[in-house]
C-alpha cells in the first residue's frame, strides 16, 4: 500500500540532524550538504558545535586555513586578529616554518640581531656602533660616546674606544689621549707617547702624524716644552 515517505538529500545550504525532520538552513557561512561545513571561501572561519553546526569567524588568537576545519589556537609566539587564515609571529620573532597541521612555527631572532616592524619576516644584524644582548629584540642599543662596534655586535664590551681615546676607567669609559700622545687603533688600553724629538699639541690625537718634529735643540722624551709654550 501507499503512505510511505521517500527520503531525499537536503539541498546545499541546508541540513537535517535526524532523518525524520525537515531540512533547516545552515547558519552563518555554512554551505554543505547534510553537515553544514563552512563553504569553500570561508577561510578564517571554523565549525563550532552548539546543538547545531555553525560556521563562525575565528576569534582573535585562533585561525583556520581550511574552509572545512575548526578554528585552531595560534602557536607559541604568534597571534591573530579575528577571522584570519594564518597567524602572525610576535615582534622579535620570524616565521621559521609551517607545520603539517598548519601551525606557524615562530623563531626568536638571536642576540646581535633584531626585527623591524616594516620587515617582520627577516632578522637583521644590529648596525655599526650598536649592539643587542637579548633574543627576540625589536631594537638595538647605541654604543656609548667615543666607542664603536662592528655590525651584529651582541655585548656592550664589543663597543671599543675609537682612535684618539683609550679605556681609562673601570667602568669602560673612554678618555681622550693627552697632548704629546696618540692612539691609532680601536680598543686601546693606553695612549702611545710621541716619538723622541716630536710633540703633539692635540687632545685625542688619532695618528702619529699629529706628532711634529721639535725645532732646534729643544728636545726631550716628554716633548718640546719651549715650543708648546710659545
The pLDDT tens digits of the residues spanning 57-79 come to: 888 998 887 655 788 888 889 98
- Residue range 30-55: mean pLDDT, rounded: 61
Which of 29, 46, 73 finishes a domain? 73
Paired strand residues for 50: 52
Residue 190 lies in a domain: yes
Select the more confidently predicted residue: 24 or 147. Answer: 147
Domain that holds residue 45: 14-73
CATH number at residue 222: 2.10.50.10
Burial category of 172 from C-beta neighbours within 10 Å (exposed 0-12, middle 13-18, buried 19 and up): middle
Instruction: Compare 199 and 36 and report the one with higher pLDDT.
Output: 199
Distance (Å, whole) CA 161 – CA 147: 4
Q: Is residue 95 part of a domain?
A: no
Strand, helix or coil at 228? helix
63 in a domain, yes or no?
yes
Reported as a single tens digit per residue, the pLDDT across 165-212 is: 999 887 879 999 999 999 999 999 999 999 988 888 899 999 999 999
- Residue 28 maps to a domain: yes
115 lies in a domain?
no
Q: How far is 49 from 35, CA to CA, in rounded Å?
A: 11
Would you say residue 208 lies in a domain?
Answer: yes
Domain boundary among 30, 48, 73: 73
CA dihedral 100, 103, 108, 114 (to 10 degrees): 110
Rounded distance between C-alpha atoms, residue 228 and residue 195, angstroms: 16
Number of domains in the chain: 2
User: Measuring CA to CA, how many Å separate 165 from each of 144, 159, 199?
Assistant: 13, 13, 17
Q: Of 40, 73, 106, which closes a domain?
A: 73
Q: What is the pLDDT of residues 9-31, one digit of tens each?
A: 666 566 665 555 677 666 555 45
Does residue 41 form part of some domain? yes
pTM given for the model: 0.69
- The answer to the question of residue 221 being in a domain is yes
Amino acid at each position: 500500500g501507499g503512505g510511505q515517505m521517500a527520503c531525499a538529500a537536503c539541498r546545499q545550504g541546508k541540513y537535517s540532524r535526524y532523518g525524520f525532520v525537515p531540512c533547516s538552513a545552515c547558519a552563518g557561512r555554512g554551505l554543505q550538504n547534510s553537515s553544514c561545513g563552512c563553504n569553500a571561501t570561508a577561510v578564517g572561519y571554523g565549525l563550532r558545535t552548539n546543538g547545531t553546526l555553525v560556521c563562525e569567524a575565528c576569534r582573535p588568537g585562533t585561525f583556520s586555513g581550511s574552509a572545512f576545519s575548526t578554528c585552531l589556537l595560534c602557536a607559541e609566539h604568534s597571534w591573530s586578529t579575528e577571522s584570519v587564515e594564518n597567524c602572525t609571529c610576535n615582534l622579535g620573532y620570524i616565521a621559521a616554518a609551517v607545520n603539517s597541521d598548519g601551525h606557524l612555527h615562530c623563531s626568536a631572532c638571536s642576540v646581535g640581531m633584531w626585527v623591524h616592524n616594516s620587515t617582520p619576516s627577516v632578522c637583521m644584524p644590529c648596525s655599526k656602533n650598536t649592539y643587542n644582548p637579548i633574543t627576540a629584540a625589536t631594537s638595538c642599543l647605541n654604543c656609548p660616546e667615543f666607542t664603536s662596534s662592528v655590525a651584529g655586535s651582541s655585548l656592550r664590551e664589543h663597543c671599543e674606544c675609537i682612535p684618539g681615546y683609550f679605556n681609562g676607567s673601570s667602568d669602560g669609559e673612554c678618555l681622550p689621549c693627552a697632548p704629546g700622545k696618540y692612539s691609532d687603533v680601536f680598543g686601546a688600553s693606553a695612549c702611545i707617547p710621541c716619538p723622541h724629538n716630536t710633540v703633539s699639541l692635540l687632545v685625542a690625537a688619532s695618528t702619529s702624524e699629529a706628532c711634529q718634529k721639535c725645532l732646534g735643540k729643544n728636545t726631550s722624551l716628554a716633548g718640546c716644552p719651549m715650543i708648546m709654550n710659545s
